[in-house]
Structure 1
Amino acid sequence: MSDRKEFRDLASPERAREAIDSLDLEPEPETVSLEDARGRVLAERVDAGIDVPGFDRASLDGYALRARDTFGADEADPVALDLVGSVHAGEEPGVDVETGEAVEISTGAVMPPGADAMVMVEETDESGDQVLVRTSVAPGDNVMLAGADIAAGERALGPGTRLTAREIGLLSALGVDEVPVRGTPRVGIISTGDELVRPGGDLHSERGQIYDVNSYTVASAVEEAGGEAVTYPHAGDDYDEMERILTTAADECDLVLSSGSTSASAVDVIYQVIEDQGELLLHGVAVKPGKPMLVGRLADSAYVGLPGYPVSALTIFRTFVAPAVRDAAGRPEPRTATVSGRMARRERYQEGRLRYMPVGLVTAGPKDQRGGNGDTVGADGNGETLVYPVDKGSGATTSLVEADGVVAVDPDTDYLAEGEPVTVELFSPDVRPPSLFGVGEDDPLFSRLLDDLSNPRYLSLGSREGLRRLRDGTPDAAVTAGPVERDVDAEPLGEWTREWGLIVPTGDPDGVDGLADLVDRDLRFVNRTTDSGLRTSLGEAVAALAEERGADRRELVDAIDGFELAVRAHESPARKVAAGGADAGVGLRASAEKLGLGFVPLGEQRVRVHGNPDRTEKVGVTELITALDRVPDLAADLPGYRSANEESR
């Protein structure tokens, strides 16, 4: 039996943070040009080397003069001064101002010698070679003295200052053309596993290959935290290859992040490389998702091993690694937002680890809902925000976009009760709950309707699950297809029909005429999941055939090769047929024609949109009602679809 690295002593989350904090991620400071300085962090104090402004300058258009010459002047008794010249911005004065004289001057121009004040043009009148001043001014009035903005030797900006447009403006005024800044930590990113293929490459699903998600999602998260992401070729599960790529990244980067190959498996070798080439500080953290986490040192670089599943990898990075990257880059903690809500349904949890549970938000009415720090997080709630778990499993990448934040669940928690208050830490202060939250049947016409809404979220969970959740009061709307239970209080919003049947290869080479062929012949079939309306309609058709033959329905089901082979989306059976994986599949005429396949009709399904009766005034629901006016036009463009208006004619 081969040796296996076990998770015997899982570190606490606090111990994991301490281990990462002990790693030195901070790079050496560097000097960059002012053009490249935006967003960087000053490494040293910058003092003013010159006065700003470097001369006494006029604040307004008007006349430079000696203040004492205007004493006593007013509207009724103006003072007449001889006009002896003019000075414009950007030129050196060519005249001195003596007693009883004035010089015309432009905003920003150098004050001429002898003048100690100026009067705005609106308070004067010209009369030949003289100017009549109708107000009195004091020395320094309307003049910005040299160094009034910032004087030479003064502290301009301190270390740790993040350089934005304002700070760069000040540095420009000081004549600074390059600045010392904190170095950007270089973070090497390595996805591991023989099954990975980079997006854009040829994917062979029959070999178990999957596209590399983590190289791109983790690199984006590193950049958001202030680091410089460097992606490396993915590493297979061979020790020598893993060692070569890891040590190369360690030589070139301040921190190396790998994802995958960290679980307790005989084929996982990263921990062996770390132990052989560096130091392994911990292996395994008592947190979900993300238990298989490594922290250590590799050569002169820090190392953190992330889990392989994208949701787990990003959760661990965001929770443990991002703060260290921000600290190394001199970035402040990001502005976070939280929102309080109540659990939409009961959620069990008995694993004894801290859990970061991905959740979605849905608001219950037309008013504002604000986060715990005052940030508006929803444009249509009534003070009640419902929180529902979004957990398709750690391997589901769609959880990344279907969740709005996380709820931290204590290790001692057995379950969260329906209606229990919880605090959601949003993934970003910019997160907004969806304008409309819908669940139910996967339907191509409804997908097109959603394009008309401002910020919808729709979960294709099937007709039965859609109605169940609507019965629980969580979604704003549910979509069903085919025969479904009707014991739910719902507002009918719209409906149409779609033709369904058997999808077969182009030209129907097996000569499939109907459902009986699946029962009587040796044909490979692919079905939909039990929550699907298509599966329900097919089940009723099988029951009708059984009654017609005087047979038991179960006998017919058992006779269909693949009846229990279920796929989740409306096009999935068609695509399996197109790929040669089945001789027939249940589906829609629209799917068959889209993919150029044959179609054997079995009937029509009624598709209904049900509204939550408590949300009819919600903005997203009213948007949906408006969008439903387009059903006749959309149905006309989809093969096998008919609107309710067409049915009534």
Structure 2
Amino acid sequence: MERKEFRDLASPDDARAAIGSLSLEGGIDRVSLEDARGRVIVTRLDAELDVPGFDRASLDGYALRARDTFGADEADPARLEVVGEVHAGEKPDVELEDGQAAEISTGAVMPSGADAMVPVERTDTDGSGDGGTDVLIRTSVAPGDNVMFAGTDVAAGERALGPGTRITPRDIGLLSALGIDEVPVRGKPRVGIVSTGDELVRPGEDLESERGEIYDVNSYTIAAGVEDAGGEAVLYPHAGDERDEMERVLREAAGECDLVLSSGSTSASAVDVIYRVIEEQGELLLHGVSVKPGKPMLVGRLESSAYVGLPGYPVSAMMVFRTFVAPAIREAAGLPEPTAATISGRMARQERYGEGRLRLMPVGVVGDATGDPLVYPVDKGSGATTSLAEADGVVEVDPETDYLEAGESVAVRLFSPDVRPPTLLGVGEDDPTLNRLLDGLENPRYLSVGSRPGVRRLREGVPDVAVVAGPLDRDIEATELGRWSREWGLIVQAGNPREIEALADVVDRDLRFVNRTTDSGLRSSLEAAVDDLAADRDANARDVRGTIDGFDLGLRAHESPARKVIAGEADVGLGLRETADRLDLGFVPVGEQSVRVLANPDRTGKDSVRELKTALESGPNGD
């Protein structure tokens, strides 16, 4: 038999390029929530409901109308009539009127008519009322105090998880909270494993050492490496050195798998003929690489499958596999390269503590202008699922530490060794156009905190970009990457049965209105429009705002008011035309609003920031 000689060995980069030219993708799978851990999402998942799905009490105490407590203090408490009780897991059977309160448990649904609650420790009971019990309220509260409103954790319509997200136990919790039981994920590359050589014996079988037999080590170690890299390993019966049998097994594997890995029979000796099978039955892209160990490596195609031939010696086979093949499988599976379980970074801003207890602080990590890790706290409270979904790890703060200084070095214990800090950290306004822009970026993280907090965090130097909408209170030192316009106005029921024609109707008529929070850019534009209306009428702006039922109580995300309209809990909601169209609701336009993407001036050179700028220049809607 003619002997194959190694002449010009390929460089390691050429070997990587050859493997990179092969298609290893396994398609798309739909998996149950039980099987979703570790899989990679292929499309954005938006929240289809609010979490929590109802307004709930944050503490034990009394639900009431905030205005009934105005002016109350320890010396002069407000006296309210207790008209019922509401416990967690129960539907309230009481509706509060002026001067009334209901005893309420932590996590219970807020009864109709209540817009705040007072913790029990700021109250006293008094049985001297007319045949019942009164409660003395020894503090004043504002609307919304001590209430976790529907959608505070995750709001309907909000971006939950984006494409490319590798699902962690934290994400499973988020998906569970959203009621999602099946997830579209990237299919695992199916990898067929074939060991060659007449000398090989499967573990568990009898071994005849006198014949030079050895146990098949490579099939199992490579299979474990495939699974660890995110692929699905399929073991085939080992092939001997006889060409026809070798070709049969390889063809069987090629017909059933995305990638075939063989070990052994790759060298240039007369009996190692596997390279001849690939040359004649497929396409041999590369034979021989200038690495040690691993010189006899093969790369090619067999039928519709990718093919890589590994050396026969177990150490050589695994070294080549880990160096060249495992990264390709990870890329096809959408998985990152493994990293250390603990990293060191600098605090992005000062964080105060001083409670005298060990603090396990959830943190996120983002690269600064030079790529060094910046660490920032992520904390929405103990009841918020997204505190962990938006974090990368934990910093343990010593009980004696009063605060962490900006720039102070900290150790971050990652949630798992393969955690990928985001390539881009953005904060600010919640916007559907922005969601589409983020879909085109690799592993972004966006915190929809609102325009005003977004600007504040950008001033602190934490995020890469802030997205702001509407008028700002003051200028900010930042680089504008791009902008787009969105039409905002009043979202009403389909067909507009209340015949609402303009903002003046909300002021002049008895309509239930749902606003956005003061952090929202939409709220800022609404306030400016109401102030203009007041000026046209030569009226006091504060008085005009006060005539709108619900003006002072806002919801966080851009779809939340629309969802209230759908549920029949409001006649009018503040929102976007795009939201109304998507939810088949009516819309009354009020104005156009500019949405700007502002970058931290020190981070405009980051690859992810440049990619976002390019996407904006191409058109925020993909134009």
Q: CA deviation at 1:263?
A: 0.5
Where in structure 1 do 4 or more consecutive aligned residues deviate above 4 Å? Answer: none
For the residues of structure 2 that align with 1:171 and 1:205, how far apart are their CA atoms? 54
Contact 2:201 2:214 in 1 (8 A): yes
- The match for 2:338 is 334
For the residues of structure 2 that align with 1:10 and 1:328, how far apart are their CA atoms? 27
**Residue 326 of structure 2 is aligned with which of 307, 311, 322?**
322
* TM-score normalised by L of structure 2: 0.54
Q: CA deviation at 1:276?
A: 2.0
For the residues of structure 2 that align with 1:79 and 1:285, how far apart are their CA atoms? 84
Pair 1:28–1:5, CA change in 2 (3 A):
same
Instruction: Note if 1:254 corresponds to 2:258.
Output: yes
Instruction: Note if 1:49 corresponds to 2:48.
Output: yes
**Residue 230 of structure 2 is aligned with which of 218, 226, 230?**
226
For the residues of structure 2 that align with 1:258 and 1:283, how far apart are their CA atoms? 14
Instruction: Note if 1:241 corresponds to 2:240.
Output: no
For the residues of structure 2 that align with 1:118 and 1:293, how far apart are their CA atoms? 70
Equivalences for residues 268-279 of structure 1 within 5 A: 268-279=272-283
Equivalences for residues 475-490 of structure 1 within 5 A: none
- What letter corresponds to residue 24 of structure 2 in structure 1? L
**Residue 177 of structure 1 is aligned with which of 172, 177, 181?**
181
Superposed CA offset, 1:401-453 (max 9, x none): xxxxxxxxxxxxxxxxxxxxxxxxxxx989xxxxxxxxxxxxxxxxxxxxxxx
Q: CA deviation at 1:36?
A: 0.8
Instruction: Note if 1:126 corresponds to 2:125.
Output: yes
Instruction: Note if 1:63 corresponds to 2:67.
Output: no
- The match for 1:549 is none
Equivalences for residues 89-128 of structure 1 within 5 A: 89-128=88-127
**Residue 148 of structure 1 is aligned with which of 143, 147, 152?**
152
- The match for 2:385 is none
- What letter corresponds to residue 137 of structure 2 in structure 1? V
**What is the DSSP-based 3-state SS (H/G/I as helix, E as strand, rest coil) of the residue aligned with 2:277?**
helix
Superposed CA offset, 1:504-523 (max 9, x none): xxxxxxxxxxxxxxxxxxxx
**What is the DSSP-based 3-state SS (H/G/I as helix, E as strand, rest coil) of the residue aligned with 2:13?**
helix
- What letter corresponds to residue 329 of structure 2 in structure 1? V
Q: CA deviation at 1:274?
A: 1.0
Q: CA deviation at 1:194?
A: 0.1
Equivalences for residues 400-479 of structure 1 within 5 A: none
Equivalences for residues 572-591 of structure 1 within 5 A: none
Contact 2:203 2:216 in 1 (8 A): yes
- What letter corresponds to residue 213 of structure 1 in structure 2? V
For the residues of structure 1 that align with 2:298 and 2:93, how far apart are their CA atoms? 74
Instruction: Note if 1:189 corresponds to 2:228.
Output: no
- What letter corresponds to residue 221 of structure 1 in structure 2? G
Pair 1:181–1:273, CA change in 2 (3 A):
same
**What is the DSSP-based 3-state SS (H/G/I as helix, E as strand, rest coil) of the residue aligned with 1:80?**
strand
- The match for 2:36 is 37
- The match for 1:625 is none
Instruction: Note if 1:297 corresponds to 2:301.
Output: yes
Segments of 5+ residues of structure 2 without an aligned counterpart are 128-132, 343-371, 374-415, 419-623
**What is the DSSP-based 3-state SS (H/G/I as helix, E as strand, rest coil) of the residue aligned with 1:288?**
coil
Q: CA deviation at 1:337?
A: 9.2
- What letter corresponds to residue 38 of structure 1 in structure 2? R
- What letter corresponds to residue 274 of structure 1 in structure 2? I
**What is the DSSP-based 3-state SS (H/G/I as helix, E as strand, rest coil) of the residue aligned with 2:184?**
strand
Q: CA deviation at 1:93?
A: 1.1
- What letter corresponds to residue 17 of structure 2 in structure 1? E
For the residues of structure 1 that align with 2:111 and 2:217, how far apart are their CA atoms? 67
Contact 2:30 2:184 in 1 (8 A): yes
Instruction: Note if 1:75 corresponds to 2:74.
Output: yes
- The match for 2:168 is 164
Segments of 5+ residues of structure 1 without an aligned counterpart are 339-372, 375-427, 431-649
Superposed CA offset, 1:245-288 (max 9, x none): 10111111111100000000111121111122211000000110
**What is the DSSP-based 3-state SS (H/G/I as helix, E as strand, rest coil) of the residue aligned with 2:226?**
helix
Superposed CA offset, 1:274-326 (max 9, x none): 12221100000011000000000111111000000011000000000010000
Structure label with greater radius of gyration: 1
Identity of aligned residues (%): 78
Q: CA deviation at 1:158?
A: 0.2
**What is the DSSP-based 3-state SS (H/G/I as helix, E as strand, rest coil) of the residue aligned with 2:183?**
strand
Instruction: Note if 1:12 corresponds to 2:16.
Output: no
- What letter corresponds to residue 102 of structure 1 in structure 2? A
- What letter corresponds to residue 63 of structure 1 in structure 2? Y
For the residues of structure 2 that align with 1:256 and 1:162, how far apart are their CA atoms? 25
Number of matched pairs: 342
- The match for 1:87 is 86
**What is the DSSP-based 3-state SS (H/G/I as helix, E as strand, rest coil) of the residue aligned with 1:156?**
strand
Q: CA deviation at 1:89?
A: 1.5
Superposed CA offset, 1:125-174 (max 9, x none): 12221111111110000111122222221111101111111111111111
- What letter corresponds to residue 256 of structure 1 in structure 2? V
**What is the DSSP-based 3-state SS (H/G/I as helix, E as strand, rest coil) of the residue aligned with 1:20?**
helix
For the residues of structure 2 that align with 1:296 and 1:202, how far apart are their CA atoms? 35
For the residues of structure 1 that align with 2:340 and 2:254, how far apart are their CA atoms? 32
Pair 1:429–1:103, CA change in 2 (3 A):
closer
For the residues of structure 1 that align with 2:33 and 2:168, how far apart are their CA atoms? 11
**What is the DSSP-based 3-state SS (H/G/I as helix, E as strand, rest coil) of the residue aligned with 1:122?**
helix
Q: CA deviation at 1:47?
A: 0.6
Q: CA deviation at 1:336?
A: 5.0
**Residue 210 of structure 1 is aligned with which of 214, 230, 253?**
214
Q: CA deviation at 1:206?
A: 0.7
For the residues of structure 2 that align with 1:231 and 1:336, how far apart are their CA atoms? 31
**What is the DSSP-based 3-state SS (H/G/I as helix, E as strand, rest coil) of the residue aligned with 1:206?**
helix
For the residues of structure 2 that align with 1:304 and 1:220, how far apart are their CA atoms? 17
The higher relative CO (CA closer than 8 Å, separation ≥ 6) is in 2
Superposed CA offset, 1:348-397 (max 9, x none): xxxxxxxxxxxxxxxxxxxxxxxxx99xxxxxxxxxxxxxxxxxxxxxxx
Superposed CA offset, 1:36-92 (max 9, x none): 111111111101111122221111111100001111111222111100001112221
**What is the DSSP-based 3-state SS (H/G/I as helix, E as strand, rest coil) of the residue aligned with 2:5?**
coil
Equivalences for residues 358-437 of structure 1 within 5 A: none
For the residues of structure 1 that align with 2:157 and 2:208, how far apart are their CA atoms? 66
For the residues of structure 1 that align with 2:15 and 2:26, how far apart are their CA atoms? 22
- The match for 1:534 is none
- What letter corresponds to residue 48 of structure 2 in structure 1? G
Contact 2:338 2:417 in 1 (8 A): no
For the residues of structure 2 that align with 1:90 and 1:133, how far apart are their CA atoms? 26
RMSD: 1.8
For the residues of structure 2 that align with 1:282 and 1:114, how far apart are their CA atoms? 75
- What letter corresponds to residue 170 of structure 1 in structure 2? L
Instruction: Note if 1:24 corresponds to 2:23.
Output: yes
Equivalences for residues 524-563 of structure 1 within 5 A: none
For the residues of structure 2 that align with 1:429 and 1:104, how far apart are their CA atoms? 47
- The match for 1:3 is 2
Contact 2:30 2:185 in 1 (8 A): yes
Q: CA deviation at 1:101?
A: 0.5
For the residues of structure 2 that align with 1:336 and 1:260, how far apart are their CA atoms? 33
For the residues of structure 2 that align with 1:165 and 1:127, how far apart are their CA atoms? 48
Instruction: Note if 1:263 corresponds to 2:263.
Output: no
